[in-house]
Structure formats: C-alpha cells, structure tokens
Amino acid sequence: MTSPVRPDTTPIMIAGFGFRHTATSSSFASLLATTGYGDRIDKIAVPADKASHPEFLRFCADTGVEIISIDQHQIAQIHTPSQSEASRQYRDTGSVCEAVALCAAGADSVIICRKIISDDRLASCAISASSKQIQHKDHKTEESRR
C-alpha cells in the first residue's frame, strides 16, 4: 500500500529589500545575515526601478538567489507591519522592503522578520514566507493583509 501524496508545504521565503542609490553590496549582505534567515532564502524581491542597481546585482550574484522585480502598482497600498512616512510618501506603502517581500511571496504570505535597517542606514530588509505554518527563529510572525 502506498502513502497518499501530500502537497509540498515547505514555505517559500523571500527577502525583500528597499534601498537608497548609494547602498553597497555590503549593506545588503550584512542585512541578510542579520535576519538570521540568509541561508534559507529562496528569492530576493526589490522594486522594479531598483532591480538593475549595480551593487544590488553584485550582491545577488554573490548569493546566487533569483531576483523578483515588483512594480510600483503592486507595492502601493500593501499593508505592512512597519510604517515609515518616507515610504508612505514616495511608495504609497508603510515599508518598501516588507511590501515587496509580501508581493513576491503571494497572497497567503506573512512577514516573519520585520524591517531591519543596515548599519550605514542605506538599505532595509524584511523576510516573508508563503505559509503561516512556518517554524521561525526568535522573530515574531506578523499578520499582514493586502
């Protein structure tokens, strides 16, 4: 007798980034390491207008993780746990990194690591997962809705 086939319930983990044009690959690398999820990231999300930034591309090449570009119309109006006046003014969402992470992970996604800002204050990162049944480390899961 064979066991019933069960769907893969492994959550997809997305690192979302927001950053200034002066951010460096070190800004991104240190942020990802700080989250504690760096070795479990499946994809990296970023606003489409930042996807070709040379330092960001260098960082992504070093990690070997696929980039997902998120259009501004997808980012706008995404409810995020963190709130920034600058993000609200320029991107119409509370947190760019959280919004792109949520968009890339899909409709059932949640933030599992809220926005962290790099030591040089040039970049931010958040982690989302596609499943609410995720085991996470020392970070409170945040409910986020579109």
Confidence of residue 55 (pLDDT cuts 50, 70, 90): very high
pLDDT in tens, 25-40: 999 999 999 998 888 9
- Of 132, 19, 126, 22, which is closest to residue 81 (Cα–Cα)? 126
Tell me the three state secondary structure of residue 26: helix
DSSP 79-96: --SS--HHHHHHHSSS-H
Confidence of residue 146 (pLDDT cuts 50, 70, 90): very low
Query: So where are the chain's domains?
Result: 20-129
pLDDT in tens, 59-100: 999 999 999 999 999 888 788 888 888 887 888 787 899 999
- Of 60, 67, 55, which is closest to residue 19 (Cα–Cα)? 55
Whole-number Å distance between alpha carbons of 56 and 12: 21
Compute how many other C-beta atoms are within 10 angstroms of the C-beta atom of residue 100.
33
Whole-number Å distance between alpha carbons of 68 and 104: 7
pLDDT at site 85: 85
Q: What is the DSSP letter of 144?
A: -
- Of 63, 6, 68, which is closest to residue 38 (Cα–Cα)? 63
pLDDT at site 10: 63
> Domain 20-129 class?
alpha beta
Residue 125 φ/ψ, nearest 5 degrees: -140, 145
